[in-house]
Structure 1
């Protein structure tokens, strides 16, 4: 049964005539009349008695109207409820973030202050989650993104910084070239034990003498500050420690490569108003949040 034709039939009954219903629906009168006739042929009954004074329901038409009008009313109420929730931005937003990307927590706090009726659930993990399987609306991802089923919006790029503690430098000396790092105990970020970590320092690739590998930048930070290792860390994590001289940047003439940051979400035809609002909010507020952390970034304003 053609639900659109049912809706037109209900509109005709409520309007009292085909011409009035056509005007209310914004549908040409011949089109509306044809759709009603098609519905009658499909049901094999006459629904309306037409006359110069308008239309009158037949017995079969009365029975159909009683049921169809309730159904149409329920659908309109459901649509209004959904639209109302979206207009008030009331609902759930499910996010995935790397555990170490601390500036984003400040952004989320500002987002929730502006939209208090949105309940945010954050799945904090270093692993690559499956957005569909895990029910994630938007994920913050580091590095290049290649996924045909997802939309990846570039937010910013920044470089990690190679650091060590002053006492480790005092003991082993300041490295002048990447090759001299072979004299130093190093710690690396790695997702798995079987992955060999490398550092791209300027134009040179280095395989550090890794005495520790871990998928937690916070632990790498602690090991570096305690004077045990050389490691590479996000700039927002080392900013204060460098300022307070608890960490020293190494080989600034050989910078690590840029780290692109993306917001990743499923390629839906119509992302929800909540997701669109979150993406727009990120576009608006990421510069302020990261500038407050003294991160030198290359931003892409095409998010959203």
Structure 2
């Protein structure tokens, strides 16, 4: 049986005439008439009694209409549900983030406010990940990236800053030249013994190295050392005077903020939306 013809029959009964059905469905009257006739022929019964002014169902037509109308209503509800699901972003995003990257906590909260049906499965690590083998949709990474296994999208740049507490500076003095750092206790990121300040490098002998910027922040706040930290970790402490920036005329290198993800051809609507959201959210954040 032609389901489109059955749906037209239901509409004809509901609208009360062929002409009104034609207007409501944008279907020619002749097409509607032909399809109803074909349906009657296929079923072997007359469904409608037609006259110049009146249109009424036969007994067989009334019985058929009751079942067909329920089926059409269920079908339309199913289509509506499917359309809503397609419009409403759902699913789970599997992300990899570096440790202590605090701005992303707010970004993810903002994303879920806009797309409240989305869930996150997050893997925190600084190491390189295999997106496919590790099941990662998108990885956030810092620094210049060249990865043949992934697409790299640069979101922006920011610079770390050298900082120390007022108590520390009272004890050791405020440096005005890079070389003065050599006489001060320094703490650095794990395995880092060189700071590029301006256009020159300085070799430091850190008293503490750790791959955790929150730990470095605690050391600086405690007055134990000079260290470099990302701007989003120190902004509040600079404003309340618990930390001071050093050697502003000798800036540290710009840090690239990148998203890594598999081939564009394989991206789901959810992943594409997340990538676009990140680009919009980060725009100008570290400028």
> What is the TM-score of this pair, normalised by structure 2?
0.69
> How far apart in 1 are the matches of 2:131 and 2:115?
23
* CA positional deviation for 1:173: 0.8
Paired residue for 2:124? Answer: 124
> How far apart in 2 are the matches of 1:207 and 1:174?
19
Paired residue for 2:153? Answer: 153
Deviation string for 1:73-113 (max 9, x for gaps)? xxxxxxxx999755432111111111211011101101011
Deviation string for 1:37-73 (max 9, x for gaps)? xxxxxxxxxxxxxxxxxxxxxxxxxxxxxxxxxxxxx
Q: 1:86 to 1:131 in 2, by over 3 A?
A: farther
Which ranges in structure 2 are unaligned for 5 or more consecutive residues? 4-80
Q: 1:131 to 1:177 in 2, by over 3 A?
A: same
Paired residue for 1:233? Answer: 229
Paired residue for 2:207? Answer: 211
**Partner SS, residue 156 of structure 1:** strand
Paired residue for 1:169? Answer: 169
> How far apart in 1 are the matches of 2:109 and 2:132?
25
* CA positional deviation for 1:197: 2.6
> How far apart in 2 are the matches of 1:279 and 1:199?
32
Q: 1:283 to 1:196 in 2, by over 3 A?
A: closer
Paired residue for 2:188? Answer: 188
Q: How many correspondences in the alignment?
A: 211
> How far apart in 2 are the matches of 1:283 and 1:267?
18
Asked if 1:202 is matched to 2:198, the reply is yes
Q: 1:282 to 1:248 in 2, by over 3 A?
A: same
* CA positional deviation for 1:130: 2.1
The match for 1:243 among 224, 236, 239 is 239
> How far apart in 1 are the matches of 2:113 and 2:208?
40
The match for 1:278 among 267, 270, 274 is 274
> What is the TM-score of this pair, normalised by structure 1?
0.65
Which ranges in structure 1 are unaligned for 5 or more consecutive residues? 1-13, 16-80, 298-304
Asked if 1:102 is matched to 2:102, the reply is yes
Paired residue for 2:135? Answer: 135
* CA positional deviation for 1:230: 0.5
Q: Is the 8 A contact 1:165 1:226 kept in 2?
A: yes
**Partner SS, residue 265 of structure 2:** coil
> How far apart in 2 are the matches of 1:135 and 1:197?
34
Q: 1:82 to 1:183 in 2, by over 3 A?
A: farther
> How far apart in 1 are the matches of 2:146 and 2:261?
12
Paired residue for 2:19? Answer: none
